[in-house]
Chain A
Amino acid sequence: MTKSLGLSPMRMGRQWALGALLVLACAGNALAEENQRDPYEGFNRSMFAVNEAIDKYAAKPVAQVYDAAVPLPVKAGVGNFFGNVGDLWIGVNSALQGKFADAGVDVGRLLINSTLGIFGLFDVASELGLEKHEEDFGQTLAVWGVQDGGYLFWPFIGPRTVRDTAGFGVDSFVDPVWRVQPVPVRNSMVPLRFVDVRASLLPADKIVEEAALDKYAYIRDAYLQRRRNQIFDGRPPRLDD
């Protein structure tokens, strides 16, 4: 549960363009019983079904094999490595949101873990008390006052609001992993990270399956609550009931 619901990093430029067209096409036939936070529910539910199939027959089985076959220290090393790579961009976003002390911690983490932590394989910084933050460009946009624009569900990358889809585009554009040379190394790192993230979500699968009356709605509402919590750095103002 520690990693994001559906923050599986994959850049799917063309699919997005296609998806955006479909969104526009579906926006016309809004449902009678419309959920304000989910104006594209019809489109989302069909993409959700597509993603469920991809997950069932490809992503999840691969993640399960990875989870069972790879020894824990290696898995931890892989998670730490990609976490370390991400800390620089997290630091930039902390700074963009005006949280300069946090940004200092993020950069400090990167320096410590890249050296003492042997290229980020060990998260020494956390043990030294430099806590990891969760930031991305979607959160920065939210702090800047951009509205979320409604909920979307994408194949591969999962739930994103319109704002977070744009944020994710920027995150992916600056993502160092996509710029790794030579290309064959990059081409194994990108799927490895995807599998690592998916594997870390395996324990949550069972809970969602058991707890949800409607899996689609359960995941949507969990995503929206979790994002709100991230945007307010774990201290969201109370909503009235």
Chain B
Amino acid sequence: MKKIFALFFAGLVSTAALAEDAPDALVQRVTEEVLEIIRHDKDIQNGSTNKVIDLVDKKVLPHFNFQHMTALALGKEWRKATPQQQQQLTAEFKTLLVRTYSNALTSYKNQKVVYKPLKMAPSDTDVLVRTEIHQPGNKPVQLDYSLEKQDSGWKVYDVVVAGISLVTNYRDQFGQEVRNGGIDGLIASIAAKNKSLEANQKK
């Protein structure tokens, strides 16, 4: 009986997760939640890196697939890496991306986000959700998210600002590091970069 109940409960949860959010609704919900918090948080507005990373960690990162992002950034070398290297690389790349781009959120000032209508077939498992950041006196900035459908819901695997993919923009830099020092060399240089960013922040 307990087992049946557990099964039933698990089924309920997973259908809830599946029915949860369409990709565009997910992007909109998370964006608005995060902006609402920033609007009321003086520390973040004053540039508190730790606080904004905390926020991103809690609200945004559960909807990201960093393994896919890292594989995309590395390109064909990804398959040659051992599982352990893949894991280390993903962890370091995640730290770098989160730190650098979370900081951009601290400069948020009343810009308005416009959500573009999503063209999507029910069977699609890979979609592009388009948004635009509007600010007075400036041309709107395109901000797009690539999402893929997974068992745990839709996950973002690329963010594209004004046509620049924050992920594939690393392709050549990663390739260069791998040519010079292999996958381990690449992991070491990202780790070193993360260390120096952290040290600068403490000052």
Contact = CB atoms under 8 A, between A and B. Distances in A.
Do A and B interact?
Answer: yes
Interface of A: 1-3, 33, 35, 76, 79-80, 123, 131-132, 134, 203, 206-207, 210-214, 217-218, 220-222, 225-226, 228-230, 234, 236, 241
A213 B164 contact: no
Interface in B150-184: 161-166, 168-174, 176-177, 179
Nearest to A134: B139
B140 to A, nearest CB: 7
Contact of B103 (A206, A220, A225, A226): A206
A221 B169 contact: yes
Contacts of A230: 163
A202 to B, nearest CB: 10
B137 A207 contact: no
B164 A214 contact: no
Interface residues of B, number: 38
Interface stretch (B9-17, B18-26, B93-101): B93-101
Contacts of A1: 141, 161-162
Contact of A35 (B97, B103, B142, B172): B172
20 contacts: A1-B161, A2-B162, A76-B136, A76-B137, A79-B138, A131-B139, A131-B140, A132-B139, A207-B101, A210-B99, A210-B103, A211-B96, A211-B101, A213-B170, A213-B173, A220-B172, A221-B168, A225-B169, A234-B142, A241-B168
A66 to B, nearest CB: 16
Contacts of B125: none
A2 B141 contact: yes
B163 A225 contact: yes
User: Which of A76, A207, A211, A230 is most buried by chain B, counting CB atoms within 10 A of its CB?
Assistant: A211
Contacts of B161: 1
A203 to B, nearest CB: 6
